[in-house]
Structure 1
Amino acid sequence: MGPIGIPSEEMTLTALRAIAKIDVKPVPTDAAERRAEDAAAETRGPASQLLGLEGMDSKPGDAARTQKSPAQRAQDVIDKVSDAAYSIVTLPSVVITRNVLEEYVKLQARLGRPESLPQILGLYASKPKPKMASGAIKYVERNPSKADSAVDVSIAEAALDAAIEAKDLGAAIGILENTYSSKAYLRAKLIKKALLPGFAVAGTPVAIYYAATELAQLQHALEPRIATGFAFAGAICYVGFTATIGMVAHFTANDQMKRVTWASGTPLRHRWLYEDERAALDKIACSFGFSEEHRYGEEEGEEFLWLREYILSKSMILDAVDLMPGMN
């Protein structure tokens, strides 16, 4: 239980889970439902349908005709549940923790309402933290670029899958900008995946020099100082050459790429740092474009053209001709 006025994480999770228990039935979309709605529409005159005057007359039976259909009622329930969850997490005194964010993403994904996910993912990193001071709540500003403000990969993937399932390209790009593209995510990736290898690279020359010194003691043809220099130079060249070839092979591999690839000349460090963003864009392009591989690149429409330009602005190429089947 947190201080008075500041809900604890358990309280927030309980509220969200209580909302999630509401029975939300899927919106009817079967043929029978559509035929029933079409039949009801035919009972109204063309003029009434056009002008929306069905409720102007007070004839018996009009009230039944103006009632909402099951699909509309289900839609209203979904909207109310989604709005209630949004109201909870956006309260100034509510702290959006990792568990709260995960629960919110799960709820909106089940409802098929990913529109608010980009904003909530942004609030996870930037929302001022409430703090009790002298019996009143004060809000401490946060740095959204800190590594500990990064969204977990599992939550980012769940949010992106929800936007793709709902066929909401705007929400998908917004989720991408607040997760894989954010400074916090990139800094967290550097700390988790590059810090230890960096220490290893920095310590390699020291280890090689120590090994060369020990090897120099096993021979008597040269002075130990000269033998140490020869052994150190040979070992450092071998390790450096082998490591360089391995890094180039690793960072230029494109077997995991389907439609979105790196533009020629993109630095290797940039490719490694933004690989998760490229993979997410690849997933989006495959989901919103044609599923047939032989039709890649034939998509039309303002939305997909915008996606193509957006990918190009990220030093990436959608459907590079030289990497398409039969062209490489």
Structure 2
Amino acid sequence: MRMEQLASRLTLKRAGNLVCSVCWRRYKRSSIVHQWSRYWITTRAQSPSSRPSSSLKGPAALGTQPTTPPITKKQFPSQLELRAVQRLDVLLEDCQEFLQKEVVPTEDTILDALKTCRKLSEYFRSVKDQPALSTIKPGGEAGNLLFLDADPADTQTASSRTLTPIAVGRMASSIAEEAMDKIAETIKRIAVDKNVYITSKVLQEVVDILCLLNRPESLAYIFILYSSKPVPKPNQRPLKYTKANPDRITAAIPLKVAERALDAAIKVQNLPLCLDIIEHTVSTKAYKRAKTLRGAFLPAVAVAMTPGAAYIVASRLAEMQEAMSTSMMTVIGTAGIITYIGTTSTLGFIAVATANDQMQRVTWQAGIHLRERLVREDERAFTDKVACAWGFADPRRRGEEEGPDWEALKELCGIRGMVLDNVELMEGME
């Protein structure tokens, strides 16, 4: 009787090895079954009578010649997972196909592939975060995206199957983890390909997906490619590439994208990755030039218009007095207005540049120019965020941190003209 029960649990066969459908372990081998997409799936069009009488027989009995033996739909933890993995395989094939061509893919083509990756990432992330498949129903948003043409009978939950909820949850988590690795690898292949031009929209989509997958390890390298990757010329055969200038203004990483990447690196507790992201985003010449251009545009326009506006106002005021000549009053009034605007603007600039209320643990060293402080404020803020994430949360214990990572962070702050935990600015040390 015990042997019959054991035999009934063995429902899969692959490469001569039996796999238990309850604990999902392979007999004669210790590894776990992977590569779900390689299994041959019996379709719903086949009636039960047309299928093989034994689940251990290969699909050759149906007149087909697949490379792997069949597996019935009941042996999967969920049809949603199966359909999602199948769509992932189709996506991988499509990406490999257009990456192998000696053509420059358009931005819309790349964005379509990335949007599909995002949908699959959201679904597998939900499975990873909540592995109990009994609570995941096809009626959800992710299920509707992946299960559009399914039968009601295919949407059985784990509670109606032979697998226990714990086994199903572990199985689904393993499938989701492997699928997320494949998606992240596909994203990196798309970004690294020499024929793919990374635009700002593509960069934002890539960063969002990798952060959603919780795999930000390649973000720093993708930022380097965004600024210095050779640009392909699409209308030439053979393809030619132009060298990109990493210091151009258009090569600056957007601030929101850099913040998203830094938050993901902090979440995985990877200090070298955090420092690399800071180095290749807010610390680059391109970012500083872009920030200077954006920040100095309105003040420059105001400075250029001030003398003319002051002269017009002074000339109008000169006509309302009789104490002196109109020309003399116009000159005096123009000089006074310009002096007043220049003085107040200078005081405001000094007040903004020397403000330190937003600083928590990382401050500027004495002697750093005010202009440099304004331009590099985002760099200091990012370093401050990293220091707060790696240090003690209790303000009373600040300064007690130790270890190689903390010493490296403190040394890096000193090299960049910053001070980590300036004693003079600590609470109670004024």
TM-score (norm 1): 0.81
Amino acid in structure 2 at the alignment position of 1:8: T
Q: How far apart are residue 261 of structure 1 and its match? A: 1.0
Give a deviation string over 1:243-284, Cα, whole Å, max 9, x none.
Answer: 222211111111111111111221110111111111111111
Q: Which residue of 2 aligns with 1:18?
A: 116
Q: Which residue of 1 aligns with 2:283?
A: 181
Q: How far apart are residue 100 of structure 1 and its match? A: 1.4
Moved more, 78-87 or 300-309: 78-87
Q: Which residue of 2 aligns with 1:8?
A: 106
Q: How far apart are residue 186 of structure 1 and its match? A: 1.2
Q: Which residue of 1 aligns with 2:352?
A: 250
Q: How far apart are residue 205 of structure 1 and its match? A: 2.4
Q: How far apart are residue 77 of structure 1 and its match? A: 4.5
1:239 aligns to 2:341 (yes or no): yes
Amino acid in structure 2 at the alignment position of 1:146: R
Runs (5+) with no aligned partner, structure 2:
1-97, 131-169
Q: How far apart are residue 15 of structure 1 and its match? A: 2.5
Secondary structure class of the residue paired with 2:239: strand
Q: How far apart are residue 203 of structure 1 and its match? A: 2.2
Q: How far apart are residue 123 of structure 1 and its match? A: 0.7
Q: How far apart are residue 112 of structure 1 and its match? A: 2.1
Secondary structure class of the residue paired with 2:419: strand
| Root-mean-square deviation over aligned CA pairs | 2.4
Greater radius of gyration (CA): 2
Number of residue pairs matched by the alignment: 288
Moved more, 78-87 or 241-250: 78-87
Q: Which residue of 1 aligns with 2:309?
A: 207
Task: Confirm or deny: 8 A CA contact 1:27 1:75 kept in the other structure.
Answer: no
Q: How far apart are residue 105 of structure 1 and its match? A: 1.0
Amino acid in structure 2 at the alignment position of 1:270: E
Q: Which residue of 2 aligns with 1:121?
A: 223
Distance 1:134 1:239 in 2: 56
Q: Which residue of 2 aligns with 1:138?
A: 240
Secondary structure class of the residue paired with 1:261: strand
Amino acid in structure 1 at the alignment position of 2:106: S
1:100 aligns to 2:198 (yes or no): no
Distance 1:255 1:150 in 2: 27
1:285 aligns to 2:387 (yes or no): yes
- Equivalence map 1:19-34=2 (5 Å): 19-20=117-118, 21=120, 23=124, 26=128
Give 2:212's match in structure 1, choosing from 100, 110, 114. 110
After TM superposition, the runs of 4+ consecutive aligned structure 1 residues lying more than 6 A away are: 69-74
- Equivalence map 1:74-93=2 (5 Å): 76-93=178-195
Give a deviation string over 1:122-174, Cα, whole Å, max 9, x none.
Answer: 11111111113443211111111111111111111111111111111111111
Distance 2:252 2:426 in 1: 34
Distance 1:4 1:300 in 2: 53
Task: Confirm or deny: 8 A CA contact 1:208 1:235 kept in the other structure.
Answer: yes
Runs (5+) with no aligned partner, structure 1:
29-68
Give 2:367's match in structure 1, choosing from 259, 262, 265. 265
Q: How far apart are residue 198 of structure 1 and its match? A: 1.1
1:300 aligns to 2:398 (yes or no): no
Change beyond 3 A, Cα 1:225–1:261: same
Task: Confirm or deny: 8 A CA contact 1:89 1:96 kept in the other structure.
Answer: yes
Amino acid in structure 2 at the alignment position of 1:232: T
Distance 2:416 2:373 in 1: 11
Task: Confirm or deny: 8 A CA contact 2:102 2:239 kept in the other structure.
Answer: no
Q: Which residue of 1 aligns with 2:25?
A: none
Q: How far apart are residue 73 of structure 1 and its match? A: 7.1
1:191 aligns to 2:285 (yes or no): no
TM-score (norm 2): 0.62
Distance 1:275 1:268 in 2: 10
Distance 2:197 2:332 in 1: 60
Distance 2:284 2:199 in 1: 18
Q: Which residue of 2 aligns with 1:44?
A: none
- Equivalence map 1:150-161=2 (5 Å): 150-161=252-263
Task: Confirm or deny: 8 A CA contact 1:27 1:74 kept in the other structure.
Answer: no
Amino acid in structure 2 at the alignment position of 1:203: M
Distance 1:93 1:231 in 2: 62
1:163 aligns to 2:261 (yes or no): no
Q: How far apart are residue 235 of structure 1 and its match? A: 2.3
Secondary structure class of the residue paired with 1:130: strand
Distance 1:111 1:178 in 2: 22
Distance 1:126 1:94 in 2: 13
1:275 aligns to 2:377 (yes or no): yes
Q: Which residue of 2 aligns with 1:42?
A: none
Distance 1:188 1:316 in 2: 22
Give a deviation string over 1:15-54, Cα, whole Å, max 9, x none.
Answer: 33334415255499xxxxxxxxxxxxxxxxxxxxxxxxxx
